[in-house]
Amino acid sequence: MSFFEKKLKNRKQKFKQKASPKNSRSRRAEYTVKISKSKRELNLMKRRNITITNNSNNSQNEIYIPPLEELPKLVNGIKNSKDIDKIEECTQMIRRMLSIEGDPPIDEIIKTDVIPYFVEFLKDSNNIFLQFESAWILSNICTGSSEQTTYVVNLDVIPIFLELLDSESLDVIEQSIWALGNISGDKLEFRDKILSYPKSFKKILDVYHNKNLNQSILKNTTWAVSSMCRGMPFPDYEKVKNAYKYFGYLCKETTTDLIVDACWGLSYLSSGNSEQIDDLIATECLPRLVELLGHSSPRVLIPAIRAVGNVVTGNYQQTQSALECDLLERLQPLFSHKRDQIKKEACWVLSNITAGTTEQIEKVLQSGFIPIIYNLIEETKIYVIQKEAIWTLSNAVWGGSIQVVINLVESGICKAFVPWLQRKKENSILKISLESYAKILSVGEKIAENEGLQNNLYAQKLEKLGVFEYIENLANHESNIIKQLVEYILKNYFDKFQNQVNENENNSTNQDENGNTDYEF
């Protein structure tokens, strides 16, 4: 048995195996890395607390924000004044300077060396006002660049903020959790630094148990906890997995911001191995996540799709759990969504379902998805959408029964891979296109054998589409894998097909009344 024959025989088993989470998810690892590094997602990781201002010049409620020219005077008031009222006032004014839309003067304030004073103010439990204002200042500085955040972290503020989660002031608790969220969102090193403190994550989760917890703190806590579960490499799962029950509960809320952050959290936690997917399913929130695929806001849709998508990258039983929540019914409208990102992620989910069992693939076909995928490939110009759509079809070919392949061929699947044979630089898609044709041709051989046919009818179809010619043009491809695929197909199917055609030409004596030969394939 040749190298490629062995490869063909084992391809399906290696794609999605019940007992091997590593194998079952390896094909989609590249996609998971890419979405974890999404610019839009990273932008969600830091939040500045903005001072609400009234722009009316006649309003008595207008909040005064000092100009940058006043900064030296304010810093002097903090460093040199003995009057606590003066210190409080100057601290509040600097906080307002940092709490504006646009480009706050973070670097200018850092250069005054006043930041260590705010760190000291955090430790003064007798002055809640200064604690609150200082926490707000430090939190907003941590919305800046990584260098600015690092400056704050190097002042050893993390354990102080963790201690402040026990404060009697809800405002101090909120600003502390806000600061920890911003620090965690800056880089994975800081995320892991926060989690390295004993029982730090438990202390953060304990905020949820506060009897007086209001909606604002609830939202900020959910966002911060979600931030601490994000990133690749993943955080220590044993340290963060208890967040599941809170995310599972909060995704059932009606407030959009809460749903968004809870869904992001669920998507992060389930991006690991099969055990982590089982833990998501155990929260009993999977039906809610599937339901959220019908939400009107893309802010909800994207993390909900990713969380559900993680489930179907798992083993067959985990995929089935999602299908039993009417996933296919909820998924179908997303293929006509106005946002390309939604279409792409819907394809990603479907491609993992067609990597499942024959029964799961048949369910996809019965739900009418194949014509939708064909239309998507033809109509969209977005490469990543086309790529996921092609994976969907390829997985269906490879995982489906003979009857599934027959149905796919009858529906026109042979045309879908043709354009990709002409894109010689797209090795991954070129490879699965060739593999799909090899599987289709092998089914054609079985049909011919079972029905006593002289010709492989699927080889005939591919010949009419010019597929063999395109494949021949790949014979000298730079990739050894592609060359082996080409050699296998040409040797086992094209040469045999040509021999059959030549034999028919030589043996045929059937002519019409005009003397034309009637070839039978």
Q: From first to last of the 521 residues of the chain, give the pLDDT tens digit.
A: 544 445 445 544 444 433 233 333 334 434 443 444 443 444 457 888 876 444 434 444 578 999 999 999 999 999 999 999 999 999 999 999 999 888 899 999 999 999 999 999 999 999 999 999 999 999 999 999 999 999 999 999 999 999 999 999 999 999 999 999 999 999 999 999 999 999 999 999 999 999 899 999 999 999 999 999 999 999 999 999 999 999 999 999 999 999 999 999 999 999 989 999 999 999 999 999 999 999 999 999 999 999 999 999 999 999 999 999 999 999 999 999 999 999 999 999 999 999 999 999 999 999 999 999 999 999 888 999 999 999 999 999 999 999 999 999 999 999 999 999 998 888 999 999 999 999 999 999 999 999 999 889 999 999 999 999 999 999 999 999 999 999 999 999 987 666 655 555 555 444 444 443 331 21
Residue 311 and residue 286 in contact, taking contact as beta carbons nearer than 8 Å: yes
- The answer to whether position 264 is within a domain reads no
Bridge partners of residue 511, in order along the sequence = 517
Domain membership of residue 74 as a residue range: 46-53+60-229
> What is the CATH number for 96?
1.25.10.10
- The answer to whether position 395 is within a domain reads no
- The answer to whether position 282 is within a domain reads no
For every residue of 77-132, DSSP letters joined together read HHHH---HHHHHHHHHHHHHHHSSSS---HHHHHTTT-HHHHHHHHT-TT-HHHHH
CA angle, 437 as apex, 432 and 441 as ends, to 5°? Answer: 150
Q: What gap in Å lies between CA 382 and CA 208, rounded to an integer?
A: 42
Q: What gap in Å lies between CA 345 and CA 300, rounded to an integer?
A: 13
- The answer to whether position 142 is within a domain reads yes
- The answer to whether position 311 is within a domain reads no
- The answer to whether position 194 is within a domain reads yes
Pick from 328, 259, 246, 335: nearest CA to 299: 259
CA angle, 304 as apex, 12 and 38 as ends, to 5°? Answer: 80
Number of domain units in the chain = 1
Cα dist from 233 to 62, 229, 230, 280, 456, whole Å: 46, 11, 9, 19, 49
Q: What gap in Å lies between CA 9 and CA 6, rounded to an integer?
A: 5
Q: What gap in Å lies between CA 418 and CA 474, rounded to an integer?
A: 13
